Every structure is written in structure tokens, then in C-alpha cells.
């Protein structure tokens, strides 16, 4: 689960857009029961960022954000289990880019806030350099794997750090077509790529000490963000509450334009690292499921649509614990009435405000079908 969700804006993370608590929790602070030495239940308060303090409700962490890091000729992702909805079977990782955020936590940082004592402070510029160096050392094939690798290295390098939250958005690149060597058509260039405006992969890993000199993943979330889809027909919105405040006309068939952020958590967080590729859930596959279900289903609302997408994701990937959505309705408004579903329509941008939906599903929803 996410310590906090972040919007991804065209390949870079907009860390300022955090007005909603994206932790799927009812408040920014949530309480975890812990057992004391006398066997009684104690309460530890954890803030919206995942930081904790057993003595009070203090938020205490610091870090570096917007760390852009790139690597060429990384380890390919191979051996991914294919699904009917997607042609995706791996990534060559010829060009691998991430926009990274590092958040450090530990009680030994308190004097830096309280007393101005920097003796335990790791400079944020050092964090940036450390992340750059770790990507050179990382020999895995997934963003989640890299975040776990770098987070664990932070804990090994600096004893004053108790936990690290590593978050990243992929900087996506598209292959470019060039004439094939044999002159028969076109083929992807092995040298030239375009920086993409498409959806991107989101990854977050929370790593902390396990008490035995090692580290443990205590929280993890993967995702695909800023997926934009338009369906020209085959969606409706009817039978909603009608009263004196209702002005929106019902639509038996409408052009539907949505944006989607989709996040998923694994039953076993280590499956997210890609060390067993057949258990790894690629963002490209979840993206493709979303667009295939959008194509197949004549939904009566965005709520109906994301539920059907969630069911398909959970069916295809039983190793997941949950799937969470944030959808935004960007549907264009009709300028004139159409005579039929296949008739030409003139549409215009909707005014603000726009509607949104948030929803979480798990395997128990499969039993309701």
C-alpha cells in the first residue's frame, strides 16, 4: 500500500498535488496495534507518509525528490507470463529512465530539527548521488527491484537510517520506426527513441531494518498512471438520481473520455521485484487489460467500468492482494443531438469541475460474480 499517492504528470512526478489522502485510509493518521513487552496492546501512530513515533504523533522525515536517472543497456525483463489481453512479454530495457523520490526516516534525525545538529544528516545532494550510483550497480530489470536495491543500500550505508521510502515514476520512451535493412518495410530503431507523453509506470517500496542486520519490505505498491482513454460509443449513463438540482441529461450512448491511475499490491511484496518474472505484473499488461475491457464492455457508468477492469486484473493475476483505481471523467459535451449511435457527433471540452471515482478491490470481489 502507498504511504501516499502521487500524480504522475507526463513522465515526471508532481509532488505538490497531494491534496487528497491517497493512502486509502480514512484520515492522514492511522493507528497500528503493537505488542509491548508485558504482552499488552500498545498503540503506535503512523502519519500519512508512513513515518512513526511511539511517543507522540510527530511527522519526521526528509529526502530528495525529482532525481532524474537514466541507464542504457540495462538487464532485459524476460520470462513474463503472457495474458490474452496483451502482447507484452518483456522489456529490453535498452533505455531505462526513472524520476525518483527518496524519503529517509529515523529517530536520530530529531536533533537536526530540534537542535540544529547536523551530525547525523545525510545531505540531500548526497542522496541524489547515491541513487545515481546505485542504478549503475543494479543488475535487475524492474523499477520496483531498483527501488528495493537502492533503499536497502541506504540502510546498509547509514546506520542512523531506520527506514527508507523509495518512490519513482518511469520516464517512458517510444521506439521509432526506420526503414528495414532489407528495404522491405520498417522496423524499430535500436538507437533512436522518443520521449513519450504516454502513461507511465509507478513504483513505491518501503524498506526498513528487520532487527537482525537485514532489511524487509514492509510496504509496496506498483501502478500505471495517466492512462487516457476515449470510447466513441458503447457507454451510457442512466437511471441516476433525478431531483430539482439535476440538469445533466441521461445518455443511452455517449462518447466517454476518462483518465485512470491504477495501483496494485502483491500478496508477497517480493513478487514485485521481478526476480521471478512469471509472477511479476507489468504495468503494460494492466494498461492493456483496461483498454480491452473498455472496448468489450458497454458500461452504465465509470464506476461500472472500473469494477469490470478490476475483476479482469484480479482474475489474470491471483498473486495480487488488491487493485485500486482513481478515475477522472473528462467526457466531452455534445454540441448537437445525434440521430443514432453511429451518427457523427460534434463535441466540446467540458467545463470545470470534473468528476472522479476512487475504488479498491481484492479477491473477495471475484466471489461476488
**For residues 144 and 220, is the Cβ–Cβ distance under 8 A?**
yes
pTM tops 0.95: no
Tell me: the pLDDT tens digits for 146-195?
999 999 999 999 999 999 999 999 999 999 999 999 989 999 999 999 99
What is the three-class DSSP state of 177?
strand
Measured distance CA(117)–CA(174) in Å, rounded: 47
Measured distance CA(362)–CA(369) in Å, rounded: 13
**For residues 236 and 300, is the Cβ–Cβ distance under 8 A?**
yes
Measured distance CA(253)–CA(238) in Å, rounded: 9
The three-state (H, E, C) secondary structure of 300-323, written as one string: CCHHHHHHHHHHHHHHHCCCEEEE
Q: Active-site residue numbers? A: 64, 124
Helices (H) and strands (E) in the chain, counts: 5, 17
The CA-to-CA distance between both ends of the chain, in Å, stands at 25
Question: Residue 294 is placed in which grid cell?
Answer: 473498455
CA contacts within 13 A on the Cβ side of 78: 4
Q: How many CB atoms lie within 10 A of CB 162?
A: 16
Q: Does residue 146 have a cis bond before it (omega within 30 degrees)?
A: no
Measured distance CA(75)–CA(98) in Å, rounded: 15
Question: Residue 36 is placed in which grid cell?
Answer: 509491548
Question: Residue 287 is placed in which grid cell?
Answer: 494498461
Tell me: the pLDDT tens digits for 210-220?
888 889 999 99
Domains of the chain, with CATH numbers?
7-368 (3.10.270.10)
Could you list the pLDDT tens digit for every one of the 369 residues in the chain? 443 333 333 333 343 333 223 333 322 222 233 333 444 434 344 443 344 444 557 899 999 999 999 999 999 999 999 999 999 999 999 999 999 999 999 999 999 999 999 999 999 999 999 999 999 999 999 999 999 999 999 999 999 999 999 999 999 999 999 999 998 999 999 999 999 999 999 999 999 998 888 899 999 999 999 999 999 999 999 989 999 998 888 888 888 999 999 999 999 999 999 999 999 999 999 999 999 999 999 999 999 999 999 999 999 999 999 999 999 998 877 777 665 666 777 888 887 788 999 999 999 999 876
Residues 6+ apart with CB under 8 A from 348: 332, 333, 335
Amino acid at each position: 500500500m502507498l504511504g501516499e499517492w502521487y500524480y504522475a504528470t507526463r513522465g515526471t512526478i508532481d509532488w505538490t498535488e497531494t491534496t487528497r489522502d491517497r493512502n486509502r485510509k480514512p484520515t492522514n493518521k492511522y493507528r497500528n496495534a503493537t505488542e509491548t513487552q508485558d504482552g499488552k496492546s500498545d498503540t503506535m501512530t503512523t502519519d500519512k507518509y508512513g513515518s512513526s513515533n511511539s511517543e507522540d504523533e510527530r511527522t519526521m522525515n526528509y529526502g530528495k525528490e525529482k532525481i532524474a536517472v537514466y541507464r542504457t543497456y540495462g538487464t532485459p525483463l524476460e520470462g513474463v507470463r503472457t495474458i490474452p489481453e496483451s502482447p507484452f512479454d518483456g522489456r529490453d530495457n535498452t533505455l531505462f529512465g526513472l524520476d525518483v523520490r527518496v524519503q529517509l526516516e529515523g529517530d536520530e534525525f530529531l536533533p537536526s530539527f530540534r537542535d540544529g545538529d547536523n551530525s547525523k544528516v545525510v545531505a540531500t545532494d548526497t542522496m541524489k548521488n547515491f541513487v545515481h550510483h546505485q542504478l549503475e550497480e543494479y543488475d535487475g530489470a524492474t523499477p520496483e527491484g531498483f527501488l528495493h536495491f537502492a533503499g536497502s543500500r541506504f540502510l546498509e550505508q547509514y546506520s542512523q537510517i531506520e527506514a527508507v521510502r523509495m518512490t519513482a515514476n518511469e520516464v517512458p520512451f517510444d521506439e521509432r520506426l526506420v526503414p528495414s535493412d532489407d528495404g522491405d518495410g520498417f522496423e524499430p530503431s535500436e538507437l533512436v527513441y522518443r520521449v513519450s507523453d504516454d502513461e507511465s509506470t509507478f513504483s513505491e517500496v518501503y524498506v526498513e531494518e528487520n532487527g537482525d542486520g537485514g532489511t524487509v519490505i514492509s510496504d509496496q505498491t506498483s501502478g500505471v498512471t495517466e492512462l487516457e482513454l476515449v470510447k466513441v460509443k458503447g457507454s451510457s449513463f442512466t437511471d441516476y438520481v433525478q431531483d430539482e438540482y439535476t440538469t445533466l441529461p441521461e445518455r443511452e450512448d455517449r462518447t466517454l473520455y476518462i483518465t485512470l491511475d491504477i495501483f496494485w499490491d502483491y500478496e508477497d511484496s517480493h513478487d514485485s521485484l521481478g526476480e521471478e518474472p512469471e509472477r511479476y505484473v507489468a504495468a503494460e499488461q494492466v494498461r492493456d487489460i483496461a483498454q480491452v475491457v473498455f472496448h468489450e464492455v458497454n458500461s452504465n457508468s465509470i464506476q461500472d467500468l472500473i469494477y469490470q477492469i478490476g475483476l479482469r486484473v484480479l482474475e489474470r493475476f491471483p498473486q495480487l492482494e488488491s487493485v485500486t483505481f482513481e478515475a477522472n471523467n473528462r467526457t466531452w459535451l455534445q454540441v448537437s443531438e445525434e440521430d443514432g449511435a453511429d451518427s457523427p457527433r460534434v463535441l466540446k471540452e467540458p467545463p470545470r469541475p470534473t468528476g472522479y471515482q476512487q475504488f479498491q478491490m481484492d479477491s473477495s470481489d471475484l466471489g461476488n460474480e
